[in-house]
Amino acid sequence: MVKRYLQVQSLDDTLLLLSREFPNAPSVMTVPLENAAGRITASPIFAKYSVPEIHVSAMDGIAVVSAETRDASEQHPVTLSQAVRLNTGNVVPPGYDAVIMIEDVWEADGKYTIRKSASPWQHVRPAGEDLAESEMVMTSRHRIRPHETGGLGTYGITGIDVITVRIGLVPTGSELVAAGTRPKPGQVVESNTVMAKAMLEEAGATCTRYPFVEDVKEKIRDAIATAVRENDIVIVSAGSSAGTRDFTADVIGDLGVVLIHGIATKPGKPAIIGKVQGKPVFGLPGYPLSALTVLRELVLPFLRQYGLHVPEPVTIRAQVTSSLPKEVGSDEFVLCTLGNVGGRWVVSPQSKGAGVQMAAIRANSYLRLPRISEGYDAGDEVDARLMVPVEEVKNALIITGSHDPVLDYLADLIRPAGVSLLSTHIGSMGGILALRKNECHMAPTHLLADDGSYNTEYIRKYLPETSVDLLCIAERQQGVVSRDGISFANLPGRSFINRQKGSGTRMLLDHELKKAGIDPASIPGYEREVTTHIAVALAVKSGEADAGLCVYSAAKALGLPFVPVASERYELAFRKEHENDPRVRALIGAVRSPKFAAILGILGGYETRETGRIRPGNP
Amino acid sequence: MVKRYLQVQSLDDTLLLLSREFPNAPSVMTVPLENAAGRITASPIFAKYSVPEIHVSAMDGIAVVSAETRDASEQHPVTLSQAVRLNTGNVVPPGYDAVIMIEDVWEADGKYTIRKSASPWQHVRPAGEDLAESEMVMTSRHRIRPHETGGLGTYGITGIDVITVRIGLVPTGSELVAAGTRPKPGQVVESNTVMAKAMLEEAGATCTRYPFVEDVKEKIRDAIATAVRENDIVIVSAGSSAGTRDFTADVIGDLGVVLIHGIATKPGKPAIIGKVQGKPVFGLPGYPLSALTVLRELVLPFLRQYGLHVPEPVTIRAQVTSSLPKEVGSDEFVLCTLGNVGGRWVVSPQSKGAGVQMAAIRANSYLRLPRISEGYDAGDEVDARLMVPVEEVKNALIITGSHDPVLDYLADLIRPAGVSLLSTHIGSMGGILALRKNECHMAPTHLLADDGSYNTEYIRKYLPETSVDLLCIAERQQGVVSRDGISFANLPGRSFINRQKGSGTRMLLDHELKKAGIDPASIPGYEREVTTHIAVALAVKSGEADAGLCVYSAAKALGLPFVPVASERYELAFRKEHENDPRVRALIGAVRSPKFAAILGILGGYETRETGRIRPGNP
């Protein structure tokens, strides 16, 4: 096995190497006119004939000899000796040289009378007015817009040579199952080549997904060799890491040359670039977000050199809401939530876990932290790169705080109004602090004070000078989730899964433990924290813990017994200054809608007497 | 026939009427995962199972019992009694509660030694970390991004219910032939439903193009009735005007109700809106640009109400280069060329002819002149609506002046550099004046002075204070084009087709006539003007004139005899301040390239000795 570069390369150097090593000769394929929109022309296109080929009428009217009309006027109507009725597009017969609109013609006894002269060639579309035979309709490297298919048809063009790049996608891994099959323990749904196909075909590539290949070196070698033979570029999914069955680099080395193994990006580091039969072979990391990063930052920019359609992302200058420290040496990419709060653009990093594919669905933007940077401090100005149209970012409603599944349903209810609700789950206290920094529109919160009241005490304390309102979502039940119906009093001695400090649920637990005189030390697992209700329920369901505290809907979703402990007021805090923001209005409308009431009823565990009520947060 | 509205309606009123009359209930269809990108979800999507369903390793390494690692350090390595080798994604076996990366493990005799303790659950992906069973993956009305297909697959979703609207497209007209068939005189290639299908399907509609229907009322009635039965919306192409065979409105009236016949827009006025079986039936005007306007301004905004993807156009504030007078009462839409010249955005209206389909290919933007406006004066600030991505408009090279087919080839040569050359043909003098107003980057010109020199005298006169350079394209031959080889001396008495005043070719003609002592009055047709070389050649080919003056390439393109008269210096004038503009640099590079020399050779009629030379325009 030959390795030319043993060191991890920077992203920029890798892109340079790609353009140096590979010729970028795109493939050409012919598509029918009706599939041409969005494709990029491989060569200039010329009109097959003139349009129109012969003089035609531009109006519904009559063809006349202009000389005969010369003396017509209101005072002196002229009845024409020669005239032919024409519709728009009809050929102007030889000998005639003008058209008079039918509205300006009086007909009687088969004769036409006019009251105005016609100038020569008026309302006549001369031959070639639109385009002449052999003239260029469009250049090469032109991305055909949908409406242009009409013109192409008119000029006689029905098969269009367009640029493409044939890409073979080879999924490897004995653990893979196809989407639609529920994975058994240790199995994984193969999604990287599904995603790659959609992303690369949007750019104009022609992708072939090959059958899954087991982690057997010879089988991987055969699969890659076949894909190289049949394509311009090959992308092998996974097997690029340091596991016992990561054969991709070895196989590429056997078949050709490994140019790069390891790119200084996070995520995406284990990527491979090789050359087999003169063609580029990429090794994609297995983690979905790593694969996404390599596709977006490496493969797509490389395809741009082939002439495919890979637009640069639109950016918006925004302030980061939390610090993003990093070490010098790698380009880091962080999926984010971007929105405009009170006229200021704010961008919040999402989870960095490479396995959390939802982060790529929740994100509307991402950041590139440059290789030489040591990261950002909260409040730094950065360029957020958009993953959705600008219009959608402008209509993002940013919600930060305590999680509840009903937020997803509210997101669904306001979507038809064009508002995208983006929620970040960092607990009630996190939400209150985000509201104080004016980094979110609304903060879901259920913070219990010593006097048994909810939320107001915390808003008074943390936003004393700011006018804040509270919109009640519901009074919701929290309770003990378990596999065998454990009650609150029976928690001591049973293994527990807890919520993080600062979350309302944690506060409720501590409040109730104190009230009941239970010592937290008597509950094994009290120190183990997760950040959502559903994570608590899952830990219980998987047997990792015997019990936890969560909302009813989470227990119900996983089919687990639930013993109620207390009801709490789950509210959305928002600054009064935002009360007329159309996004906030849309959300208030959704909370008060009959549809939402029905959803709460179906989910269960919510008391709706207060739902939709707004009260002052710091009276 | 029932007509509820007999008056022409404004565009805004028409849109209001549409939303009032029709329920906007989209159709739902299920698409497979691999076709889901770009589609809009019809309902929220939920995870079919948790991901992961069970704790798995987040790293390549070993599973350990964290308690056993507690005392490990550099000074006190610990050899583990229990450990299992795992690759990323493998299940963490029951009883184990942490993973140590393989890089931090020493293996000998089948035993693993570590030098650092492991905290509980480190490098373990807990069940549900990504998403829990029954959690919402995405809301309804969400446009699926290509990369999201990966996540959908992972969460078990393989068939996705998406929004669509079934639209039946009915082309009517006895004159129609299908694209690919060369139209005989009076025939027209049917392109409106081709264009409509591409435009509407980009928004997510599902279109069916029905067979062409002759102009026979009963046949049109049957076709529309069938289309209404099989679709949510029907669009009938053409037959909406006042010709003798325009039956569309009558037929809609027979089958249902005509709500509107005539919309106050230009182009697009003859549009029809009817209601048959409760469904909207649109009558599209026949002219392509009228049809385009109705589709873009009426049908697509209506589809937005169904939840389909119809983004608002991006706008750029720009100055119009020429006046656009209009009468109050109609919304007018004008296709334009938009570019940034010297830091200022300028927008130039294109031809307004509704039959010139090329205008929609050449345009990168359009203007809406509001109903109540009386139009714009040159220099007015307007909002230009983009028809291409912003990036492409930023890279537009604006060329205004004398036309030559080589400009199209130059456009083709610089396209791979990302530059789009947009040329407007208004003659050499028009170009010089546009350059004076700094409304174009380069002005192609071939203006002959009395002393026999080209271009410099005019630049000295019209841009005396501005430093202007001239880039020579070629010395090109102008000559007499005819069907039977007429020479210049034989022009008197033969019917002629002339170029417009201000064009270099017209000046050359007058210069040569004077030199030869020929009186223009002796040439019938001297007063008839067209604006391009190819239009001259076409007029000759079609028999409308016997002769004209044009460049060799135009005569050659139409296979006509050409008798040379003179060679002239065809140059591109540009302000020196733009000489380092990358777009101008790209064009200079293209003119000097061997590829361009080869093109000039193939086209013929160009002398290339001076090609690529730059000289001062006002020395």
Q: Which residues of chain A does B355 touch, with a Cβ-Cβ cutoff of 8 Å?
A: 52, 58, 125, 129-130
Q: pLDDT for B252-301, tens place per residue?
A: 999 999 999 999 999 999 899 999 999 999 999 999 999 999 999 999 99
At B218-261, the pLDDT tens digits run 999 999 999 999 999 999 998 777 666 788 999 999 999 999 99
Residues of chain B contacting residue A60, judged by C-beta atoms under 8 Å apart: 241-244
Do the Cβ atoms of B408 and A136 come within 8 Å? yes
Nearest CB among B87, B155, B287 relative to A243 is that of B87
Report if residue A603 sits inside a domain: yes
Mutation for A interface: B51, B87, B387, most A CBs within 10 A: B87
* Environment class of A325 (CB within 10 Å of its CB; exposed 0-12, middle 13-18, buried 19+): exposed
Residues of chain B with pLDDT > 70, as a percent, come to 98
Residue A277 is part of a domain; what is its CATH number?
3.40.980.10
Amino acid at B142: H
Share of chain B above pLDDT 90, in %: 82
How far B465 CA lies from chain A's nearest CA (Å)? 36
- Asked if A70 and A35 sit in the same domain, the reply is no
- Render pLDDT for B337-355 as a digit per residue (tens, 0 to 9): 999 999 999 999 986 666 7
Across the interface, of B125, B360, B544, the residue whose CB is closest to A355 is B125
User: Which among B55, B158, B361 has the least Cβ separation from residue A138?
Assistant: B361
Residue A364 resides in a domain: yes
User: Which residues, other chains included, contact A275 with Cβ-Cβ below 8 Å and sequence gap of 6+?
Assistant: A21, A22, A256, A257, A259, A281
Chain A residues near residue B291 by CB distance under 8 angstroms: 150
| pLDDT, position A618 | 86
Residues of A in contact with B140 (CB under 8 A): 412, 415-416
Q: In this structure, are B197 and B227 located in the same domain? A: yes
Of the residues B259, B278, B305, the one at which a domain ends: B305
Q: With a cut of 60, say whether residue B5 has pLDDT above it.
A: no
A389 at interface of B, judged by CB pairs closer than 8 A: yes
| Residues on chain B touching A125 (C-beta within 8 angstroms) | 353, 355
Q: What is the pLDDT of residue A243?
A: 65
Nearest to A143 by CA among A296, A304, A315, A300: A304
- Do residues B178 and B323 share a domain? no
Number of domains chain B contains? 5
Greater pLDDT, B127 or B3: B127
Task: Give the distance from residue A453's alpha carbon to the nearest chain B alpha carbon, in angstroms.
Answer: 30
Give the one of B87, B140, B201 whose C-beta lies nearest to A245's C-beta.
Answer: B87
Residues A12, A32: one domain? no
For B190, residues 6+ apart whose C-beta sits below 8 A from its C-beta are A153, B171, B173, B176, B177, B178, B179, B212, B237
How far does B448 lie from chain A, in Å, by closest CA? 27
Average pLDDT for residues A367-388, to the nearest whole number? 96
pLDDT per residue as tens digits for the range A174-220: 999 999 999 998 899 999 999 999 999 999 999 999 999 999 999 99
| Residue A578: CATH number of its domain | 3.40.190.290
Same domain, B227 and B371: no
Whichever domain contains B74, its CATH number is 2.170.190.11
In a domain? residue B426: no
> Based on the domain organization, do A301 and A323 belong to the same domain?
no
Residues with Cβ within 8 Å of A291's Cβ and at least 6 positions away in sequence, in order, are A192, A195, A196, A237, A268, A284, A285, B150
- B584 and B500 share one domain: yes
- The yes-or-no verdict on residue B465 having pLDDT over 50 is yes
Residues A431 and A511 in one domain: yes
Q: Which of A31, A104, A154 to mutate to test the interface with B (most CBs of B within 10 A)?
A: A154
Of A139, A155, A408, the CB nearest to B136: A408
Q: How many CA atoms lie within 13 A of A90 on its CB side?
A: 19
Mark yes or no for CB contact B55/A355 under 8 Å: no
Question: If you average pLDDT over residues B458-487, what whole number do you get?
Answer: 96
Tell whether B239 and B175 lie within a shared domain: yes
Compare B1 and B449 and report the one with higher pLDDT.
B449
Q: What is the pTM of this model?
A: 0.92
- Buried b vs exposed e over A152-179: b needs ≥16 C-beta within 10 Å? bbbbbbbebebbbbbbbbbbbbebbeeb
Give DSSP secondary structure letters for A267-281. TTTT-EEEEETTEEE
Distance, CA of A188 to CA of B191 (rounded, Å): 48
A311 with B389: Cβ contact below 8 A: yes
Q: pLDDT: is A3 or B576 the higher one?
A: B576
> What one-character DSSP code corresponds to residue B99?
E
Section A247-252 average pLDDT = 92
pLDDT score for B1: 37
Q: Is residue B137 located within the same domain as residue B256? A: no
B363: closest chain A residue by CA: A148
Q: Could you tell me the pLDDT band of residue B182, with boundaries at 50, 70 and 90?
A: very high
Q: Give the domain CATH number at B145.
A: 3.90.105.10
> What is the pLDDT of chain A when averaged over all its residues?
93
B415 in any annotated domain = no
| Binary contact (B539, A411; C-beta < 8 A) | no
The stretch A292-298 carries a mean pLDDT of 97
Cβ distance of B126 and A538 shorter than 8 Å: yes
Domain end marker among A305, A339, A365: A305
Instruction: Give CA B297 to chain center in angstroms.
Output: 16
Q: Which of B50, B288, B544 sits opposite A538 (nearest CB)?
A: B50
Residues A90 and A214 in one domain: no
B265 within domain boundaries = yes
Q: Are B605 and B553 in contact (CB under 8 A)?
A: yes
Find chain A residues with C-beta within 8 A of B142's C-beta.
Answer: 415
pLDDT band at B514 (very low <50, low <70, confident <90, very high): very high
Q: pLDDT tens, A501-547?
A: 888 899 999 999 999 999 999 999 998 888 888 889 988 988 889 99
A32 touches chain B (CB under 8 A): no
> What's the one-letter identity of residue A158?
T
Using the predicted structure, report yes or no on whether residue A616 has a pLDDT greater than 80: yes
The answer, yes or no, to whether residue A138 has pLDDT greater than 80, is yes
Asked if A44 and B388 come within 8 Å (Cβ–Cβ), the reply is: no
CA dihedral A545, A551, A554, A558 (to 10 degrees): 60
What is the spatial distance between Cα A354 and Cα A351, in angstroms, rounded to a whole number?
Answer: 9
Q: Is residue A134 situated within a structural domain?
A: yes
Q: Before A183, cis peptide (omega within 30)?
A: no
Contact check, Cβ <8 Å, B243/A539: no
Inform me whether the C-beta atom of residue A127 falls under 8 Å from chain B C-beta atoms. yes
Tell me the per-residue pLDDT of B167-178, one tens digit each, with 9 for 90 and over: 999 999 999 999
> Which residue from B614, B272, B327, B326 is spatially nearest to B473, judged by alpha carbons?
B614
pLDDT tens figures, A26-61: 999 999 999 999 999 999 999 999 998 888 898 889
Q: Is B592 domain-assigned?
A: yes
CB contact under 8 A, A242 and B60: yes
CA distances B176 to A63, A161, B180, Å, are: 22, 26, 12
Which DSSP helix (H) or strand (E) runs through A227?
helix A217-230
Across the interface, whether the CB atoms of A191 and B151 are under 8 A apart is answered yes
Quick check: is A400 in a domain?
A: no
Nearest by CB: B411 against A89, A139, A411? A139
pLDDT mean over B470-491? 96
Whole-number pLDDT of residue A21? 95
The domain in which residue A291 lies consists of 2-26+165-305
pLDDT beyond 70 at B4: no
- Up-side HSE of residue B371: CA atoms within 13 Å toward CB? 12
Q: Which of A24, A66, A87, A246 to mutate to test the interface with B (most CBs of B within 10 A)?
A: A87
CB pairs under 8 A between A and B: 346
Q: Give CA–CA dist A163/A140, Å, rounded.
A: 9
Min CA distance, B549 vs chain A (Å)? 17
Q: Among residues A125, A145, A179, which one ends one of the domains? A: A125
Tell me what the pLDDT averaged over chain B comes to. 93
pLDDT for res A2 = 36
Q: Is B311 part of the contact surface with chain A (CB cutoff 8 Å)?
A: yes
Q: Which of A126, A147, A314 sits opposite B360 (nearest CB)?
A: A147
Could you say which DSSP state residue A501 is in? T
Please compute the mean of the pLDDT values over residues A321-335 and round it to a whole number.
94
Residues B113 and B181 in one domain: no
pLDDT score of B136 more than 70: yes
Q: What pLDDT does A455 receive? A: 96
